């Protein structure tokens, strides 16, 4: 496939003697929703870390985003180019309102001037359907789902081409997961490419056009989600841990 939005080639990340990501290569097509699965500790979050360079880049290997090599670029530059991410760990929001929190992200990625900031912030909050009544509330008073909305809005405000989501469904109820599924479809339909790491397999299988599976840092299987999940190597990796 020519001209992928993201091209990861032979990416490796070592922590001392541990190889968390081991010679992983894959491409992401423009506009697709690529699912990423794998047992705990298989290197999924580390893969997002080395692609975004938040907080660190790869030990070796090359990463190209929209035709430009990014594996040595400053993280805020990568975000500014349109590659943004969310974190698996629940974000410790500072003592700010919901709108202010998204505003901080807007200055990080885009360096937007103050007068343009409010419009972008409200647009991002609109896209995730964040309750207008709660936008001036302190983030400490928000529910788990509202915090997820805020986390996604903080990535969207940077006007991304690619959005990388690390287990956004964790801690959500069934109805909230359905709402998240609709939100992911809506974001993807605006043309934003999505990489989704998700332990809630029903969600992952429902929205992914393609799936890659990591195991012990290596790429184990890749392709049509239903086919990949039937791959004996994948079944074994899930049962074996």
Spatial neighbors of 92 by CB under 8 A, at least 6 apart, are none
Q: Compute the least distance from the CB of residue 32 to ligand ADP, in Å.
A: 21
Q: Among residue numbers 11 through 50, which ones bind ligand ADP (CB under 6 A)?
A: 15, 18, 20, 38, 40-46
**Of 44-52, 76-84, 147-155, 232-240: span binding Mg ion (CB under 5 A):** 44-52
Nearer to ligand ADP, 44 or 147 (CB): 44
> Which of these, 81, 57, 61, 51, lies nearest to 10 by C-alpha position?
61
Report d(CA 156, CA 166) in Å as an integer.
15
- Is residue 215 part of the contact set for ligand ADP (CB under 6 A)? no
Report d(CA 138, CA 143) in Å as an integer.
11
Nearer to ligand ADP, 2 or 40 (CB): 40
Among 45, 120, 154, 221, binds Mg ion (CB under 5 A): 45
Query: Quick one: what does residue 101 bind among Mg ion, ligand ADP, none, with the CB cut-off 5 to 8 Å set by partner type?
Result: none
Please check whether residue 200 is in contact with residue 169, taking contact to mean a CB–CB distance below 8 angstroms.
yes
Backbone angles phi, psi at 111, to 5 degrees: 55, 40
**Residues in contact with ligand ADP, shown as a per-residue x/- string from 45 to 84 under the rule CB under 6 A:** xx--------------------------------------
Q: Compute the least distance from the CB of residue 152 to Mg ion, in Å.
A: 17
- Is residue 99 part of the contact set for Mg ion (CB under 5 A)? no
Q: Among residue numbers 123 through 162, which ones bind ligand ADP (CB under 6 A)?
A: none
Query: Total residues contacting Mg ion (rule CB under 5 A)?
Result: 3
**Of 7-15, 39-47, 142-150, 179-187: span binding Mg ion (CB under 5 A):** 39-47
Nearer to ligand ADP, 40 or 190 (CB): 40
Interacting residues toward ligand ADP by CB under 6 A: 15, 18, 20, 38, 40-46
Interacting residues toward Mg ion by CB under 5 A: 44-45, 88
């Amino acid at each position: 496939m020519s001209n992928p939005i993201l091209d990861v080639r032979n990416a490796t990340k070592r922590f001392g003697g541990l190889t968390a990501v081991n010679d992983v290569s894959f491409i992401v097509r423009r506009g697709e929703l690529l699912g990423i699965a794998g047992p705990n500790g298989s290197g999924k979050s580390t893969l997002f870390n080395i692609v975004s360079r938040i907080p660190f880049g790869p030990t070796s290997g090359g990463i190209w985003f929209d035709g430009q090599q990014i594996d040595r670029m400053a993280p805020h530059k990568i975000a500014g180019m349109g590659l943004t991410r969310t974190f698996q760990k629940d974000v410790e929001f500072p003592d700010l309102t919901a709108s202010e929190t998204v505003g901080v992200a807007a200055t990080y990625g885009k360096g937007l001037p103050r007068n343009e900031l409010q419009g972008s912030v409200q647009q991002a909050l609109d896209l995730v359907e964040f309750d207008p009544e709660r936008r001036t509330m302190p983030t400490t008073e928000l529910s788990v789902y509202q915090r997820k909305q805020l986390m996604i809005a903080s990535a969207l405000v940077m006007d991304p081409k690619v959005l990388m989501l690390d287990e956004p469904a964790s801690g959500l109820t069934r109805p909230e997961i359905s709402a998240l599924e609709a939100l992911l479809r809506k974001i993807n339909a605006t043309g934003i490419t999505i990489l989704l790491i998700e332990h809630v397999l029903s969600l992952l299988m429902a929205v992914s056009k393609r799936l890659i599976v990591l195991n012990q840092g290596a790429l184990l299987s890749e392709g049509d989600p239903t086919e990949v999940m039937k791959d004996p190597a994948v079944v074994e990796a899930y049962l074996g841990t």
